[in-house]
Each structure stands twice: as structure tokens, then as C-alpha cells.
Structure 1
Amino acid sequence: MAGESRFPDVDSNGSEKNEDIEIIVNVGGARQVLYGENLNRYPATRLAQLINCLSGGYDTIFSLCDDYDPGKREFYFDRDPDAFKCIIDIYYFGEIHMKKGICPICFKNEMEFWKVDLKFLDDCCKTHLSEKKEELEEIARRVQLILDDLGVDASENRWKRCQKYIWKLMEKPESSYSARVIAVLSFLFILISSVVMCLGTIPELQIVDSEGNHVEHPTLDNIETACIGWFTLEYVLRLISSPNKLYFVISFMNIIDVFAILPFYVSLILTHLGAGMMELTNVQQAVQALRIMRIARIFKLARHSTGLQTLTYALKRSFKELGLLLMYLAVGIFVFSALGYTMEQSHPETLFKSIPQSFWWAIITMTTVGYGDIYPKTTLGKLNAATSFLCGVIAIALPIHPIINNFVRYYNKQRVLETAAKHELELMELYSGEGKVGGSKNELEDLMGEGKDRPSRSRQLKVSHSDTFIHLLSDQKHYRTRLQSCK
């Protein structure tokens, strides 16, 4: 900083009129001339405070900026110049738009530095910010889960350690070789059970019991019993080892597991005890209805398939598009079924007996299935049918692209989050050693496994000095400079 301190001329009251003050700010090498008339529109911001700090001495000035040249009346800031060019718009337009390519989290930190409220950020940019925050929360959650898996608390009793080991064994295939084997076995049992259920309906593989009824072959029945035994053991072990049993019980996938297991035991009870309480025919009908519920076990594959989980999430995020599709089809079905009924009334052998009955024809026509059980016989009816399936093709095709985009976006996002979590763990391992440039996984496990010293070691692991720093893993406040821009 140059020479003697020289501040701007002041009036007889000791201060220059703020509206007439002209200052120069240099943010990361980008110079900008600003006027008090514009800056005073938002007096709580850092730039507006620069005008009022000129008569307060260097201590006040340097509390707001990194450097100051009194000769040029120029303030220096070591901040991101691209973000500053966006933030400065608030003084001219009253709102802020984030440029494409700027990290939303970095931009939020820049706004906090310049003391600009987030309410001035445009709604479209707030959406990007919320998405990025959700991504960081997900990365932090995954990293914390991995750290918890690596950590062994010496204060825990033997049952707690055993419970955690069983939970990792049953729920986290990536944690060990044994867990991967159990996951593969569970997957195979699901497939075998589904195949046995299908084979049991083939008449050639069925046998006739003493009452003349066709029942499943005993071999298939034994295989089914073995599969149910595995599913039961798996569910009980997961329930016992679950850290949150209430959440475990009400989870959707675990409810599916119960519905896949329960019919076997209910039908077993009805077969052996129900005959004395109700007629044998009613018992057989109840058992048959319960055996149909075995199809629910195919949904157990979703627990072992990332692709099915991604598809489920994509459909969940596409409720709006699916709702539009159903609305288009509902309107088309009502219109074309009514037209078809009206146009076919003149034909003596019409198949359109009523408008509700015509709904079935409209559904299979608009979805291009066309069973042919109901079809028009008049010329106008055939024209109406041609128009209906053309409109059906268009109505179905319109929402397909957004649904596919949701699937691809979520699938790619999950891959990015997995890579980011691994990257963060590598950086934690790198900086966990005292003065060391590198580390190994064993060292990381040793750090996490120590007893009384674990909290301090854990804090060391949770502080990562990378460009992908996760604030959720640290209580400290960190701000990025322009030299630490997000990659």
C-alpha cells in the first residue's frame, strides 16, 4: 500500500455526501467504478459500508477489504471476479442472476461475503442452489456412513458390536466379501422362488392328491419351503440388527418382504387348522388367494438392483408427466368413446351398446393394442377410430422424453455422488496424517478405531481442505477465494 494516508475531502460536518462519492473496487483483477447513489440503495451490504468507512481510519477500512490505495481511492478484494460481476447487478436491477458454470455453493458463499441477502437471488438460480445443497448433503451422508462403518467404538458392548456387524453383513454388500456372498445368495433365492412359483402352475409338473385336486409337486414345494426359510431368517436378522427398528418396520421395501413371507405361514395355518373351523372348499380358496400373493417377492429384487431403484425414483420424480399422460388419455377416451357410440348407432349389428362399454374400445385403440373384440362397422366410426389411435400415439409420446431424462439424470447423479464420496474419503485420508502427504486405508481405520482419542481424530478426518469441501462434515466456517474456485 502506498505512502501517506489520504482520505477523500469532507464537508464542514466531517463527511462527504455519500451520493457524490465515487469509489473503485478491484476484485481479483477486475476493476469497477461504483457510485454512492447506487450503493446506498442497499446500505447493509459490504460495498455500501465502504462509503461510510472512509472517514473511520484504516482499521475500519481493512475490516471490509483486503487492501486499499488512498491515492486511487481503490479497494482490493481477493474474491471471485465472475461471481462479483453477477452480484453487482443488485445495485442496478434489484435482483441477481447466477452465470452458467459458477458453482452455486461458491456463489452463495460470495453473496454472504458481500453481505447480500439470498432473497435477491432469482428463483431459477435458487433451484440450482437447492439441488447442489441436496447433493452435498447426500455426499456428506454417504461419507459419514462409511466413516461410521470404519469406526469401532471401544465403549460399545459385545452385543452392540455384534449387532453392527450383522447389519453391515445383511445390508451393505460392499463392506466385506461375506456380505457380497450373502447378497448374491439372497438374489438367487428370489430368482429360484419366482421360477418355482411359475413352474408350479404347469399341469405336467403337478400331482393329484387323495381328493382328486391338482397340487404342486412335493419337490417344488420343498424348494419353496427352503426359500421361505431363507427369507424369514434374513428378515429376522435384519430386524434384530437394525439401528432404528420403527423405521425398519414401516419402510416400504421391508413391508414388501413381509408380504412375500406372510402368505406361506398363513396358508400353512389354514391348511392344518382351518379345516376344522370352515369348509374345506373355503380353505382351499383362501390358500390359493394367499399363494397368488407370492408374486410380491419379485419386488424384493429392488433391494439388490440399483437399476430398479433408479427406475422407481425416476417414476416418482415424473408424477407430473405421468399425470399429464393420464389426463390426455382420460379426455381422449371419453371423447372418442362417446363419438364412437353415436356414430355406430345407425348400424344394426353395432358392438357399441353403451358409452361406458365403449370406454374399453377407446382404451385399447388409443394405446394401439387393438384386440379386435369391439370394432366399428360404419365409415364414420372407422374415421373416428383412425383419429383416436393417432391422438393416442401423440398423447403417449409427449411425456416420454421428460421421463427418460429424469431416469438418465438420476442415474448419472448417483454415479457422480459415489465418485465424489470416494474422492472426499481419499482427501480425508490424505490430510488425516500429522504432517504426512499420504495415508492408507489401514491408517484411516486405525484413526477411526481408537477409543478415547476417537473424537479428536474424527475431527481431523472431517476437515478436508479440498475444492469439494463438505461444510456439513465440519463445524468450522470456510469461505472460498477466487483461487479456490469449484472445479
Structure 2
Amino acid sequence: MWAFSGTRYADCNGSEANEETEIAVNIGGVKHILYGDVLNRYPETRLAELVNRATDSTREDLAALCDDYDDLKREFYFDRDPEAFKCILELYNYGEIHMKRGICPMCFMREMDYWVIDTEYLDECCRSSLNEVETELAEIAEKVKTILDDLEGDATVTRGQRCQAFLWKLMEKPESSLAARTIAVVSFAFILLSSVVMCVSTIPELQVQDAEGNLVEHPTFESIETACIIWFTVEYILRLVSSSNKLQFVFSFMNIVDFLAIMPFYVVLILTHLGTAMMELANVQQAVQALRIMRIVRIFKLARHSSGLQTLTFALKSSLKELGLLLMYMSVGVFLFSALGYTMEQSHPETMFTSIPQSFWWAIITMTTVGYGDIYPKTTLGRCNAAVSFLCGVIAIALPIHPIINNFVIVYSKQRVLETAAKHEIELMALRAKEEAPQECSVSEAGKMASADNISVCNRAAVSTSQSDTCIPLLGETATVSKVQPSHKRKKK
């Protein structure tokens, strides 16, 4: 007889005997006495199956449900987390489960899988926390898959595909090699040089006069601009050629920025050499000046090489709601105080508030505490309205600022954590592959696998198939958290 009490097991009524059953379980050194009527509230779970099979099963059958059994103490032993098990017991007592603070959500999910408890019993607040962790693990899996894809390809691909992949890594992934890092640094330098030249070339003292006496850019600056455009053009063409999905490449936002940074230069050349034959010279010059202004978009090319600017972009995207609230507050305030300012200043003979739309400018610079002083109230009521307007402006701006800053900190920290976790994942996979495939490669070659950049071809298959401690399907169709279902789990009836 196993660890239970009561004498009704000799009775023919199995349900009655089952209700009187109690079993002793030892979870990581912590002993619990559990009762059959309580456990059978959820008959599909492991504990309910254990109490139901305790009387008519052999030791070998019960070994599949527990780690060990003590005949003397009549205890079932489970090598599981005792703190997590306390949360599991809440299901039988209260009908729902709450994760305690400090317990890893993924580890707790493995505990629920072991005890054969569905996630639907997890409380909504804890389920949201689990979803956040699953999302982070999915992002880590994506980064790891990207790193694995950057490794040397299979032997089945053609030579042209290998060259295309090599060129793509050279132009798009600075971390892949020293040559790629060098190209990224040179591209960054050309962007800065082009931006500086664009600004310096507008200084009148550094300009020269053309045949008609008009100030134009110095020839030296034009030469530097031409060299920069040639580099940008070659870079764009190489990236386009090496792209596997050229349509997606062309319509990508950053690639559109790159195209807009290049296009004005060639349009100006066409208008300068061919436009005079089709239109007046004045119109050509106006079009050239308008196109030259478009060169400012190349400053956005810095975002391609700056992780900080990329993080700022993600933070602003996640703060659209707060930015919308800020815009709404300011819009209401501008409309309200400009209308009040116009009404209060209308009676003054030297009023500067000639209309409500014209008063919008005064309300904007007042609420944002800029205060140029070009428009100001002259009546007492108007000055009181101005004082209230800039006080409300300070409050309206200050309220959404903290959530926006907090979103930036969260996004920035998350990016750093994901990068570190992805590298750690690759290192764990490499070490596991080193242990699983020692006969395929030498010890010295396997030792180099601790770095993601140095994983050799002979170890790539082992690294790809090795399972990490976070249990994420790195090479699966979807980057979601894998859940190992116990072999004895029953379907719900």
C-alpha cells in the first residue's frame, strides 16, 4: 500500500475510497499531505492521476509519475521547485494560479507543464507577464537565427548565391568581419563629410562668383560633394544587387532615404546641362536650389550606423500615445488662449491680436515658453491670460514627458539585454555542440566556437540543432517558446 490513510480501500466503491485517500509528497525537501477529493477537482493533472493510481498500480507504473518513492515513510518524491509547487497548490484550493514575485515565468511554465496544468488557469495579471517574457524570448530567437544565418552557408547553394550573401554581409552587417566594419566606418565618415560640406558651402565668404556675378559654391566643395555622391551611389547599388528581396529593399524607409539623398545630385546635373534648352535659366536655377535643399535628408543616413538613433526611433514609436496626448493638450490650449487673447486685446487701439488665427502663433510660443516677444498683450486682462497660458503650457508639456523618457529607457535597456542574451545563447549552443560532436572536429576548433563570429562549418549543424537552457526553437518555423508536454498528459474531456 502507498502513502495514504483510511480503511475504505477494501470497499468496492472506488469513488468513495478515492475521496478518503491522502498521499504524502515531498517536493524538494518540503513535505505536503494532499487529499484525493481536493486533487480530483482537476482530474487531468498529474497529482490527480497519482492519487487515482496509488492503490492499483505497481511501483514501476508509479515511477513514471514521480522521481522516487520511500516505502518506509510512504512518500512520493519530486525533484521540483518547492516555491513553485506552493503556487501550483493554489489551483486545487482557489481555482486559479498566481506566480509569486521572483519566480521566472518560463521556469514556472515548465513547472505547470510537469504537473499537467493548462495555462488557462493562470491569472490574467500573471499571464500578461508571461506573454512579455515569451515576446522577449521570441526576439532573442530571431537574433540568434540571424546570427546563425550569417554563418557560412550550406554546400548546396551556388557560387553566385554565396557571393551575394558575402556582399550582403559586407555592406549590411558591420559585425560580421573587419572589412565590413571598415566599410561602415568609411560610410559614416562620408555622411558626416557631406553634411559638413553642405553647411559650410553656404557661408558667403567661402563662395565664389560666377560669370553673372552670382555667388555659387566653391569648386572644391563641389568636388567633395561629387566624391561623396559617388560613394553613396556605389554603396546603394551594391546593397541593391546583394539584396535577396529587391522589391522590399527598394521600398524600405531607410533605403528610400538613401535614394532621396542621391537623386537630387543627378537631377541637378540633368537640369544644368539639358534644362536650359527646354526652359528659362531662372526656372532652372530655382529648381536646382530646391533640389539642393533635399540634400538634408542624408543626415538621416546616420540612423543606419547609430544604434542610439535606432533606439530613439523605436522609443518614439512606442510613445505615440503620449505624443498624441501632448499634441492634444497643446492644441486645446492654443485654441483656448488665442481666442481669449484676441477677445481681451480687441478693444486696445494698438492691439497686435488682429484675428484668432493670427493669435495662434502667440499662443504657441507662449505655451512652449519660447516667447519671442514679437506679439505680446497690452491690456491687464491680456497679460493675466498670458500668465495662465504659459503656466498651463508648462504643465501640459511636463505631464507626458516622464512616460516618454521611461519608454526610451525601457527600449534602450531591452535592446542591450536582447543583444547580450543572443550572444549568450550562441555561446551556450556552441559549448553544447562542442560536447555533442567532439569526433567531428578537433578540440582547438571546438574551442573557437565560444565566439559567434568564429563558428566553423563543421560545427554549424551541431550548433543549429543543440538545445539551449531557455528552450526556444531557434530553427523552428515560428520563434515562440517551446513547451514540452509530458507523455502522460490527458486531453480535457
TM-score by length of 2: 0.87
Q: Which amino acid aligns with 1:268?
A: L
Measure how far apart 1:190 and its partner are: 0.4
**Stretch of structure 1 that moved more, 272-281 or 220-229:** 272-281
Q: What does 1:452-467 align with in structure 2 at a 5 Å threshold?
A: 457-462=459-464, 464=466, 467=469
Range with bigger deviation, 157-166 or 46-55: 46-55
Matched, 1:25 2:25: yes
With 118-127 and 367-376 compared, the bigger mean Cα shift is at 118-127
CA change 1:56–1:384 in 2 (3 A) is: farther
Which position in structure 1 is the counterpart of 2:225?
Answer: 224
Q: Residues 278 and 297 (structure 1 numbering): CA distance in 2 closer, same or farther, change over 3 Å?
A: same
Determine if the alignment matches structure 1 residue 449 to structure 2 residue 457: yes
After TM superposition, give the deviation of residue 155 of structure 1 in Å: 2.8
Measured after TM superposition, the shift of residue 157 of structure 1 is: 2.5
CA distance in 1, matches of 2:35, 2:348: 83
Alignment of 1:4-23 (within 5 A): 9=9, 11-16=11-16, 18-23=18-23
Whether the 8 Å CA contact 1:253–1:303 is kept in 2: the answer is yes
Shift of 1:252: 1.2
Q: Is the 8 A contact 2:5 2:21 kept in 1?
A: no
Contact 1:200/1:220 (<8 A) preserved:
yes
* Structure 1 residue ranges without an equivalent (≥5): 451-456, 482-487
Distance (whole Å) between structure 1 residues aligned to residue 85 and residue 245 of structure 2: 46
Alignment deviations for residues 393-416 of structure 1 (CA, whole Å, 9 cap, x no partner): 111112212222222222222222
Correspondence list, 1:177-216, <5 A: 177-216=178-217
> Shift in Å at residue 2 of structure 1?
8.1
- The answer to whether the aligner puts 1:250 opposite 2:257 as a matched pair is no
State how far apart, in whole Å, the 1-side matches of 2:109 and 2:35 are. 25
Query: Counterpart amino acid of 2:29?
Result: G
Counterpart in 1 of 2:261? 260
Q: Which amino acid aligns with 1:82?
A: E
Between the aligned partners of 2:246 and 2:10, the Cα distance in structure 1 is 71
What amino acid is the match of 1:32? Answer: H
Give CA-to-partner distance per residue, 1:30-73, whole Å, 9 cap, x none. 33333444433333332333333334413553333333457766
Q: Cα RMSD (Å) of the superposition?
A: 3.1
Tell me if structure 2 keeps the 8 A contact 1:462–1:474. no
Q: Distance in 2 between matches of 1:133 and 1:215?
A: 59
Residue 343 in structure 1 maps to residue 344 in structure 2: yes
Report SS of the residue matched to 1:210. coil
User: 1:453 aligns to what?
Assistant: none
Per the alignment, residue 454 of structure 1 pairs with none
Superposition map of 1:77-476 within 5 A: 77-434=78-435, 439-441=446-448, 448-450=456-458, 457-462=459-464, 464=466, 467-473=469-475
Q: 3-state SS of the aligned residue for 2:150?
A: helix
Task: Report the CA distance between 1:297 and its aligned residue.
Answer: 0.2
Gaps of 5+ in 2: 487-493
Alpha-carbon distance in 1 for matches of 2:313, 2:248: 20
Q: CA deviation at 1:83?
A: 1.9
Q: 2:38 & 2:388 partners in 1: Cα distance?
A: 61
Query: Secondary structure of the equivalent of 1:370?
Result: coil
Q: Counterparts of 1:330 and 1:477 in 2: how far apart (Å)?
A: 48
Q: Tell me, what secondary structure is at the counterpart of 2:16?
A: coil
CA drift of 1:371 comes to 1.0
Q: Report the residue type matching 2:307 in the other structure.
A: T
Q: Report if the CA contact (8 A) 1:336-1:388 is conserved.
A: yes
1:41 to 1:332, Cα distance in 2 relative to 1, 3 A: farther
With over 3 angstroms needed to count, the CA separation of the structure-2 counterparts of 1:176 and 1:387, relative to structure 1, is same
Contact 1:152 1:448 (8 Å CA) reproduced = no
Change (3 A) 1:107 1:384: same
Change (3 A) 1:447 1:467: closer
Letter in 1 for 2:110: N
Q: Report the 3-state secondary structure (helix = DSSP H, G, I; strand = E; otherwise coil) of the residue aligned with 1:64.
A: coil
Shift of 1:294: 0.7
The share of aligned pairs that are identical, in percent, is: 66
1:254 Cα shift?
0.9
> Is the contact made by 1:239 and 1:248 (CA closer than 8 Å) also made in structure 2?
yes
Question: Does the CA contact (< 8 Å) of 1:7 and 1:55 recur in 2?
Answer: no
The DSSP-based 3-state class of the residue aligned with 1:16 is helix
Aligned partner of 1:54 in structure 2 is 54
Output the CA distance in 1 between the equivalents of 2:3 and 2:261: 82
Bigger mean CA offset, 272-281 vs 316-325: 272-281
Q: State which drifts further: 436-445 or 213-222.
A: 436-445
Task: Report the counterpart of residue 491 of structure 2 in structure 1.
Answer: none
* SS of 1:9 mapped into structure 2: helix
CA distance in 1 between partners of 2:5 and 2:461 (Å): 44
Question: How many aligned positions are there?
Answer: 475
Q: Which moved more, 1:65-74 or 1:4-13?
A: 4-13
Letter in 1 for 2:463: L
Normalising by structure 1, what TM-score?
0.88
Call closer, same or farther: CA 1:20–1:374 in 2, change over 3 Å: farther
Q: Deviations over 1:226-274 (max 9, x none)?
A: 1111000001101111123222222211111111111111222222222
